[in-house]
Amino acid sequence: AKWDLLVDSSINSKDSLLFVYDLLVENPGLVLELSSHTDPRGNDVYNQVLSENRAKACYKFLVEEKGVDPRRIIPVGKGEREPRTVYLLAGKYLENEPKDENGAMAPGTQVIVLKEAYMNQFKKTNKRLFEQLQQYNRRTEGKVVTLEFDPSTAPPVNPDYLIFKPLPKAK
């Protein structure tokens, strides 16, 4: 239920956003959509607002702390609607598709969509794995909208991008 930028032993959100910042500096025409996702715990409305706030936290960091033109970032909340796909190979979950020497998916790889039913099988038997899989779903992804940003013709930014919404009461 948080949208603070995480910095801990497993995640450094600010480092990731500094990488995005460097991309924006190196590519002045780049406009990015930053889509934030939640795990499936909680109801759809709650997770939608939470994901919007998480996207806005990334937006605010890039705009307010790093000085990026706010029209170059579009924060989008996706809630729990698009679960992450991971890869299971030799008992390990991998975020990126493992490839063989020919660039094809490594033999024996299972493609896993992290839906609630899949993750819940580990809830009682392997709490660490259950939480790891939930964390994979809690993410922000970038998508290139255009490489032709023009500050003289770009439309104004939505002022709501700077305003966090209160979370609805969990049901």
pLDDT, tens only, 120-164: 999 999 999 999 999 999 999 999 999 999 999 999 999 999 999
Tell me how far apart the alpha carbons of residues 24 and 105 are, in angstroms, rounded to a whole number: 31
Distance CA 81, CA 71 (A): 26
89-120 confidence digits (pLDDT tens): 999 999 999 999 999 999 999 999 999 999 99
Please, which residues have CB within 8 angstroms of residue 23's CB and are 6 or more apart in sequence? 30, 32
> Is the pLDDT reported for residue 6 higher than 70?
no
Round to the nearest angstrom and report the end-to-end CA distance of the chain.
Answer: 14
CA-CA distance, 43 to 110, in Å (whole number)?
29
Nearest to 70 by CA among 158, 5, 165: 158
Minimal CA–CA distance to 36: which of 51, 58, 53, 18?
A: 51
Task: For residue 55, give the nearest of 135, 141, 134, 136 by alpha carbon.
Answer: 141
